Amino acid sequence: MKLVQEIRQGFAALGASKALPLQEVGNYSAYVLRLGKSYGVIIEVPPDIKINERFSNVRYATIDDYQIDSRNANFLYLSSEMEHLRNEFANICAAFVDPGLKGEERRKIVKDPLKWWEKMKELLGNRNVDASPYNVLGEMVAYYYLLTNGSQANWIGQTNGSVDLESLDTDYEVKSTMMRYDSLIQISSQFQLQSTKDIKVCFLRFEESGHGKSIDDLADMLVKAGADEHKIEKALISGGYEKHSSGRSKRYKLHEMRLYDVRDGFPLIIRENFADYGIPKNVIKINYTIDLEGLDYEEISLSFIR
């Protein structure tokens, strides 16, 4: 409890952009730190480690532009901005900086910092939710396909756009799956597949694979294809994939890609379906699932992504 108390006292005493060395960790240096609105603890890690993770109200990230004792180093910062929970957060911080017997716990974190993070998320969360990077990857693959086939498309799905991709005359809704055989897509409202333009559904089937493509790979490919790098990064940040976050390096192999025209015969729930009786009172949103099997589609050759 001495380490927890020392961390709590540091949280209470420190001003912004100040660091305080922790005495209870002995020769395994660690500091209480406040940066802007955030507070937490830091330890030094090798310069090649780059991490940028978030879970609930906690952030776990490396910072290499902070100076302690007139020295810049690469620090791993476990932080939060929830001031009213700082005493509770001190318990998690203590578990992070505690070096353990002969420094064994510190060596484990320095060797594999993401492993400690995954265990912490599993412990604190009701379930370890996968952010499903393949969904964002699917949008990027579709964007890359359109750009490399002459379409002046824009990627807007991650920045609260009403569709995922848009061009001058067509809107695109991108749906990705890891299911090997099913071709089911989720429609999040009765208005999702409605547009004054032509609209297409792009359906992609992925498998996690060390030989596939990652979000970082597609970001580089898109920039080389003419996309604006700043806009790509802004979209990824909006989707929760800042630079160095682990989801950006997960690799997926694309097995198939289909394009469906949303026209007469494509199964939709739209306002016109309720013309006779109207949408029932107090029903404000309709979510439903479409099975794409048996519907006409254009099969896209995957040669463009190899």
Query: Which amino acid appears at position 299 of this protein?
Result: E
**DSSP secondary structure letters along 227-260:** --HHHHHHHHHHTT--TT-GGGG--EEEEEEEEE
Given a cut of 90, whether residue 143 has pLDDT beyond it is yes
pLDDT averaged over every residue in the chain = 90
List the single range of 16-20, 120-124, 227-231 with lowest mean pLDDT: 120-124
pTM equals 0.77
Instruction: Please return the burial class of 284, using the count of CB atoms within 10 Å of its CB with bins 0-12, 13-18 and 19+.
Output: exposed
Return d(Cα 270, Cα 272) in angstroms, integer. 5
Give pLDDT, residue 69. Answer: 80
What are the tens digits of pLDDT across the range 154-213? 999 887 767 899 999 999 999 999 999 899 998 877 667 777 789 999 999 999 999 999
Angle between helices 86-97 and 2-13 (to 10 degrees): 120
- Residue 123 confidence (pLDDT) above 90: no
Q: Which is higher by pLDDT, 197 or 49?
A: 49
H helical segments located in the chain: 2-13, 86-97, 104-111, 113-124, 133-148, 215-224, 229-238
What per-residue confidence (pLDDT) applies to 41? 97
Banded model confidence at residue 277, pLDDT cuts 50, 70, 90 = low
pLDDT at 127: 46
Residue 242, C-beta contacts closer than 8 angstroms, at least 6 positions apart = 52, 236
What is the pLDDT, as a whole number, of residue 268? 85
